[in-house]
Chains A and B, each alone.
Chain A
Amino acid sequence: MLKIDHREKNGDCRMTLTGQLDSTTAVELDNTLQLILPKTESLTIDCTRLAYVSSAGLRVLLSTSKTLSARKGLVLTDLTDPVKHILEVTGMTGFFTIR
């Protein structure tokens, strides 16, 4: 299960993910991002309540980061320990902007 909340103002979008970003919910997130990214300059994802990210989820985040790299970029904030661990193990902590 994944709950996706987002609000956008002047091209800056703030998104909150609650639950698990796995192979099923990654599709939902991807579909949401396909709709909002065309008008987004920067995206901040609050991960305070994101319990888990699978490789499918990482794929969506990487793709989003790539799309926004030519604009203001993607930032992940307040990672939970399990998500932090996944990013460390996959070597992605240096790739994403994390606050």
Chain B
Amino acid sequence: MPDQEKLLHIVLLHSNDIHGDFEETDRDGLKTGGLPLLSGYLQRVRREEKEVIYAIAGDMFMGSIIDREYRGLSTIKLTNALAPDVFEVGNHEVDYGLSHLLFLEKCADFPVICSNMYIKELNRRLFLSHVDIVRDGVKIRFIGLLTESIAERIRQEEIVDSSVSVRSAFGELGKVFEELKNDPADLTILLTHLGIEEDKPLAERLDPDWGVDFIIGGHSHTFLTEPVRSGRAPIVQAGFGSGQIGRFDLTWDREAGKLSDWTWQLVPVNEETSEEDPLVSFYHDRFREETNRKYDQTLFSTAAVYTHPGFHRETQLGDLFSDIYQEIYRVDVFFLSTNVIWAKELGPEVTRRDLMISFPYENAVYEMTMSGERLLALIRHIYRREAWEGANIFFLFSRALKLCIEGADRAVKEASLAGEPVSSRREVRVGITGYAYKNRKTFLGILPEEESDAVRFRRLSVNDREDMESWLSGCGTLTLSDEGRLRTVS
């Protein structure tokens, strides 16, 4: 058989963790990345090569205001224009909720795979375990695997959350190969969103009978200059964002029925390697214009630039937003964890975009009702010594509360609420976000046996950022007061 007929050249391109990296940037004087250029590269390769496959190893979502504004629908539309052949679910794909992800899957023009996410009671996978792509008679199988750490992120819908589990990647892989043992593929690729430190032990444990040829990974945002060869299959990953793309050039020997050669490289996506795809450019520009129109309006202003320089201390923005939360939810005091605020500074003009960047996650809000004595015990827990050293998330609080913390042991020397000792209050209503509520035992020291008796809970809201936007849009100029509400003395 002549060489041209004997050998089949297949180009396999892959991306991971694009995270809403839709806009080009300047890198060393070159326009780099952005979806129009990424798509332009895909179009170019599809014109130049006969057989091309494009795979995405998860986490298209989050990281851009456009994505958040349209709750992933814009991202799906743009991804449809990239036309991947297969997409593995990443942990951020569930950030808008599982139900929403399943809706978005219906909007996708490409297959979505993930073999280890299950509906528990039914023992049924939520997505396809694998997809087979045939190129000129060669069957290439992609099996999807997702990190188990996603279980922490399924947080929005209680009924769905408790019905879904993520199983061990390796255990599930064995199951998939057992299911498919009578339907072999010519090439088998694991498309994973595990992180390279999980891909490596996976590669080492692979059963040689499974015939895994490559692992294309994501999640750890690892840039590689060459494949990692630590186990039974080479591992590759394409960093993160849209500024580069992984490229395999595979040579399939038809006579021998196997891969005779392959190379891999990380290709930069820039104006030297690609031209903008006008279709993706069009869609992106439209989403961007609509988003800019909404998000570049001033939402409120502040009397000065207020800062948030660190997590384990009182900060101006921590004080300001704790006060705002107290006002919105009309509780006696609000405890806000400092890690909820991502901005280092805000003001004096604050747009919707600034607010969204500063508070990227939406939280539910809860009210706890407890006695003053119980609140004092809670305060002692959250300001114990370990909390100042980073062992716990750190809380700031609204102006009604004043605390004085003393000494290396961080004892609570004074605690007053609206001018009276905290301990003297018969009943106090305390506001917290959903993140603190879900971790109330660790963060707040509230034990299960106390609930409904010593500490009663009530959910006040499902979306604090929407409530904030609504409240802030009518508030004019905000001035911070009562700084120094958390004093420390030696």
Contacts and interface: CB of A to CB of B under 8 A. Distances in A.
Contacts of B43: 59
A37 interface: no
Interface in B272-308: 277-279, 281-283, 286
A59 B286 contact: no
A55 B283 CA distance: 11
Interface in A21-78: 27, 55, 58-59, 62-63, 65-66
B279 A95 contact: no
A61 to B, nearest CB: 9
A59 B42 CA distance: 13
B282 A55 contact: no
A55 B286 contact: no
B286 A66 contact: no
Interface string A75-95: 000000000000000111001
The main secondary structure of chain B at its interface with chain A is helix
Contacts of B279: 55, 58-59, 62
Interface in B59-108: 80-81
Contacts of A55: 80-81, 279
A92 B282 contact: yes
Question: What class of interface size applies to chain B in its complex with A?
Answer: 10 to 19
B282 A62 contact: yes
A66 B281 CA distance: 11
B47 to A, nearest CB: 8
The main secondary structure of chain A at its interface with chain B is helix
B39 to A, nearest CB: 9
Nearest to B279: A59
A97 to B, nearest CB: 15
Contacts of B47: 27
B278 A63 contact: yes
Contacts of B277: 59
A92 B47 CA distance: 25
Contacts of A27: 47
A95 B278 contact: no
A27 B48 CA distance: 12
Contacts of B283: 90
A92 B279 CA distance: 10
Contacts of B281: 62
A32 to B, nearest CB: 15
B461 to A, nearest CB: 34
B162 to A, nearest CB: 38
Nearest to A65: B278
B375 to A, nearest CB: 54
Contacts of A65: 278
B170 to A, nearest CB: 39
Contacts of A66: 278
Contacts of B282: 62, 92, 95
A42 to B, nearest CB: 19
A55 B43 CA distance: 12
A62 to B, nearest CB: 4
Contact of A62 (B80, B278, B286): B278
Interface in B139-168: none
Interface string B127-141: 000000000000000
A6 B266 CA distance: 43
A62 B281 CA distance: 10
A64 B43 CA distance: 16
14 contacts: A55-B81, A55-B279, A58-B279, A59-B43, A59-B277, A59-B278, A59-B279, A62-B278, A62-B281, A63-B278, A65-B278, A90-B283, A91-B286, A92-B282
Given A55-B279, A58-B279, A65-B278, 6 more contacts: A55-B80, A59-B43, A62-B279, A62-B281, A90-B283, A91-B286
Q: Which 8 A-B pairs have the closest CB atoms?
A: A62-B278, A59-B279, A63-B278, A66-B278, A91-B286, A62-B279, A58-B279, A62-B282
